[in-house]
Structure 1
Amino acid sequence: MSYFVAASLTVAYTRFDGGVAFIWGATAILLADLVVRPRSEWPLPLAMCFVAGGAATACFGLGIVASLPFAVVNVAEAALGALLLRRFVSHCCHFESLPEIIAFFAIVGLAVPSLLGGAAGLIVHVITSGPILSNWLHFATGHALGAVTFTPLLMLARGGDVAGWTRKARPADGMEAVILALLVGSATLIVFSQTWLPLLFLPFLPMMVAVFRLGRLGAAASIVILTVLAIAATLDGTGPIGLIAGDDGLKAQFLQFYLTVAVLTILPAAAELRRRKQLFNSLQEASALSRLILDRTGDIIMRLDVDGTIRYVSPSLLAIAGYRPEDMLGQLPHTMIHEEDVPEVVRVHRLALAAPNDTFIVEYRARRGDGSLGWFETHTRATIDEQGTPTGVVSILREITRRKELENALTKDSLTDPLTSLANRRAFDLALDRQIAFTDKEQRAGCLAMFDLDHFKSVNDRFGHVSGDAVLRAFSNLLQSTLRTSDLVARYGGEEFVAILDGATVEQAELVCERVRANFAAAACRAEDGRVIRATVSVGIASITPGTTADQLLRIADQALYDAKANGRNRLVLAA
Structure 2
Amino acid sequence: MYDPLSNLDYRVPMALLPFRSTIARGWLAAALMGVLYFALAAFTIRFTRFDGGVAFVWVSTALLLARLILLPTARWGPPLLCCGVASVVATMAFGLGTGAALPLATINLAEAAAGAWCLKRRFPTIGSFGSLAEVGTFIVVAGIAIPAISALGGAACAVAATGTGFWSNWVNWFTGHGLGTITFAPLLILAFRGEPISMAREAGRRGVGEAMVLLVILTGVTGFVFVQTKLPLLFLPFLPMMIAVFRLGRMGAVVSTAIVATIGTALTIKDLGPISLIVGGDGARAQFLQFYLATAVLIVLPAAAELKRRRQMLVSLQATSALQQLILDRTSDIIMRLEVDGTIIYVSPSISRVGGYAPEQLVGRKPHDLVMADDVDAVVTAHRRALACPSETFIVQYRAMREGGELGWFETHTRATVDEEDRPTGVVSIIHEISERVAAQQELQQMATTDALTGLKNRRAFDLALGDVVEQVGANERPGCVTIFDLDHFKTVNDRFGHAIGDLVITEFADVLRSTVRGNDIVARFGGEEFVVLLDATLDQATVVCERVRARFEQRMIQDVTGQRVFATVSAGLAPIVAGHSAAAVLKAADEALYRSKHGGRNRLTLAA
Same fold by TM-score, threshold 0.5 exceeded?
A: yes
SS of equivalent to 1:178: helix
CA distance in 1, matches of 2:400, 2:412: 11
Query: What is the match of residue 354 of structure 1?
Result: 388
Query: What is the match of residue 233 of structure 1?
Result: 267
Q: Displacement of 1:278 after TM fit? A: 1.5
Match of 1:496 among 530, 534, 545: 530
Q: Displacement of 1:457 after TM fit? A: 1.9
Match of 1:107 among 114, 128, 141: 141
Whether 1:378 aligns to 2:427 is no
Q: Displacement of 1:157 after TM fit? A: 2.1
Query: What is the match of residue 183 of structure 1?
Result: 217
Whether 1:68 aligns to 2:108 is no
1:401-412 equivalences in 2 (<5 Å): 401-412=435-446
Deviation per CA, 1:193-221, whole angstroms, max 9, x where unpaired?
Answer: 11122211111111111111111111011
Whether 1:154 aligns to 2:188 is yes
1:117-136 equivalences in 2 (<5 Å): 117-136=151-170
Whether 1:291 aligns to 2:313 is no
CA gap 1:194/1:550 in 2 versus in 1, 3 angstroms: same
CA distance in 1, matches of 2:303, 2:375: 56
1:119-518 equivalences in 2 (<5 Å): 119-502=153-536, 504-518=537-551
* Structure 2 residue identity aligned to 1:77: E
SS of equivalent to 2:374: coil
CA distance in 1, matches of 2:171, 2:559: 122
Whether 1:560 aligns to 2:593 is yes
SS of equivalent to 2:411: strand
Query: What is the match of residue 546 of structure 1?
Result: 579
Query: What is the match of residue 571 of structure 1?
Result: 604
Greater shift, 113-122 or 543-552, is seen at 113-122
SS of equivalent to 1:206: helix
Q: Displacement of 1:460 after TM fit? A: 2.1
CA RMSD of aligned residues (A): 1.6
Q: Displacement of 1:429 after TM fit? A: 1.5
Greater shift, 266-275 or 383-392, is seen at 383-392
CA distance in 2, matches of 1:166, 1:373: 62
Q: Displacement of 1:466 after TM fit? A: 1.7
Q: Displacement of 1:136 after TM fit? A: 1.8
Greater shift, 150-159 or 72-81, is seen at 72-81
CA distance in 1, matches of 2:136, 2:448: 71
Whether 1:7 aligns to 2:38 is no
CA distance in 1, matches of 2:150, 2:279: 30
Deviation per CA, 1:296-354, whole angstroms, max 9, x where unpaired?
Answer: 11111112222222222211111101111122122110111111111122222222233
Deviation per CA, 1:527-548, whole angstroms, max 9, x where unpaired?
Answer: 4442432211112110011111
Q: Displacement of 1:101 after TM fit? A: 1.4
Q: Do the aligned partners of 1:241 and 1:251 also contact (CA within 8 Å) in 2?
A: yes
* Structure 2 residue identity aligned to 1:10: T
Q: Do the aligned partners of 1:467 and 1:528 also contact (CA within 8 Å) in 2?
A: no
Query: What is the match of residue 537 of structure 1?
Result: 570
Q: Do the aligned partners of 2:200 and 2:207 also contact (CA within 8 Å) in 1?
A: no
CA distance in 2, matches of 1:159, 1:113: 24
CA distance in 2, matches of 1:261, 1:294: 48
SS of equivalent to 2:410: strand
CA distance in 2, matches of 1:174, 1:211: 14
Q: Do the aligned partners of 1:375 and 1:404 also contact (CA within 8 Å) in 2?
A: yes
Query: What is the match of residue 26 of structure 2?
Result: none
CA distance in 2, matches of 1:242, 1:20: 22
Deviation per CA, 1:373-416, whole angstroms, max 9, x where unpaired?
Answer: 01111112223333333332222111111111111111112212
CA gap 1:528/1:275 in 2 versus in 1, 3 angstroms: closer
* Structure 2 residue identity aligned to 1:434: D
Q: Displacement of 1:67 after TM fit? A: 2.4
Q: Do the aligned partners of 1:463 and 1:527 also contact (CA within 8 Å) in 2?
A: no
Q: Do the aligned partners of 1:89 and 1:104 also contact (CA within 8 Å) in 2?
A: no
What's the % identity of the aligned pairs?
A: 52
CA distance in 2, matches of 1:197, 1:511: 119
Q: Displacement of 1:514 after TM fit? A: 0.9
Deviation per CA, 1:266-299, whole angstroms, max 9, x where unpaired?
Answer: 1111111111111222222222212221221111
* Structure 2 residue identity aligned to 1:310: I
List alignment gaps of at least 5 residues for structure 2: 1-34
Greater shift, 223-232 or 122-131, is seen at 122-131
Query: Aligned residue pairs: how many?
Result: 575
CA gap 1:419/1:84 in 2 versus in 1, 3 angstroms: closer
Deviation per CA, 1:40-60, whole angstroms, max 9, x where unpaired?
Answer: 222211111111122122222
CA distance in 1, matches of 2:595, 2:566: 24
CA distance in 2, matches of 1:408, 1:381: 28
Deviation per CA, 1:441-462, whole angstroms, max 9, x where unpaired?
Answer: 2210111111111112222233
Q: Do the aligned partners of 2:335 and 2:348 also contact (CA within 8 Å) in 1?
A: yes
Q: Displacement of 1:488 after TM fit? A: 0.9
Give me the TM-score of the superposition, normalised by structure 1: 0.96
Deviation per CA, 1:88-132, whole angstroms, max 9, x where unpaired?
Answer: 344431112112212211122222222222222222222222222
Q: Do the aligned partners of 1:501 and 1:509 also contact (CA within 8 Å) in 2?
A: yes
Query: What is the match of residue 96 of structure 1?
Result: 130
Greater shift, 82-91 or 240-249, is seen at 82-91
